[in-house]
Amino acid sequence: MNHKLSLKEMLIMFWAFFKIGTFTLGGGFAMIPLMKVEMVDKQKWIKEEEFLDIIAVTQSAPGAVAINSSIYIGYRLAGFLGSVIATLGTVLPSFLIILCVVSFYADMKANPYVKKAFCGIYPAIVVLILAAAINLWKAAFRDKAGIVIALLSLAALVVFDVHPILVIVVSGLVGIFLKKTAKQGGDRK
């Protein structure tokens, strides 16, 4: 897409990202299902496969997946200005909420209703992250090699306590090797 959007379209984009930033607790991974609904299903700005690719790419870049995705999608829709507007839409709600929380923190932390609300919010956050993992499942497990890499990565992380960066780098190198090997095998036929 990456074309000049009208002021109205820019406001729609800002509002879409602002809603996502406002109603998502639990960080970037909890935003993924909401981003998919808004960007793919509702606005139809990008296709589902492209969205899954964007999530995969933005996870590998330093920084929060929600911010990286906002930057990428905003840029994809409207260039540099689009990336700025999408990012502002995503971070502004959190900034304003934290500003309010800091102002009233002493009074709020002991409030029994706040404590009870978080007892309900925490399980919802887990489900949002699980939904994001299910969506990412489609992109990661396109073939048996993806499943093997995932299982070996899980074992490396959980059983052998290998640093996540090392797991990412080795998995990436294995992916490059497997694709290169598959391509060379296809060229010989």
Per-residue pLDDT tens listing for the chain (189 residues): 556 778 898 999 999 999 988 877 666 677 888 888 888 999 898 998 888 888 888 887 787 888 888 999 999 999 999 999 999 999 999 889 888 878 877 777 778 888 888 888 888 888 888 887 887 777 677 788 888 898 999 999 999 999 989 998 999 899 888 877 777 766 555
Name the token pair of 32: 């993924």
Give the DSSP per-residue string, 167-184. HHHHHHHHHHHHHHHHHH
For 161: left if phi > 0, alpha if psi spans -120 to 50, otherwise beta; the answer is left
Rounded Cα distance between 11 and 89, Å, is 10
Return the pLDDT at 16.
93
Q: What sign does the CA torsion over 76, 80, 85, 89 have?
A: positive
- pLDDT at residue 11 in the model: 94
> 1 by DSSP, 3-state: which?
coil
pLDDT of residue 17: 92
Burial class from Cβ neighbours inside 10 Å (0-12, 13-18, 19+) for residue 178 reads middle
Q: Which two tokens stand for residue 25?
A: 């607790």
Q: Cα separation of 26 and 46, whole Å?
A: 24
Contact 43, 118 (CB under 8 A): no
Task: Give the residue from 128, 136, 129 showing the smallest Cα distance to 57.
Answer: 136
**Distance between CA atoms of residues 55 and 65, nearest Å:** 7
- pLDDT for position 85: 95
Gyration radius of the chain over CA positions = 20
Residue 166: per-residue pLDDT = 93
pLDDT at 128: 81
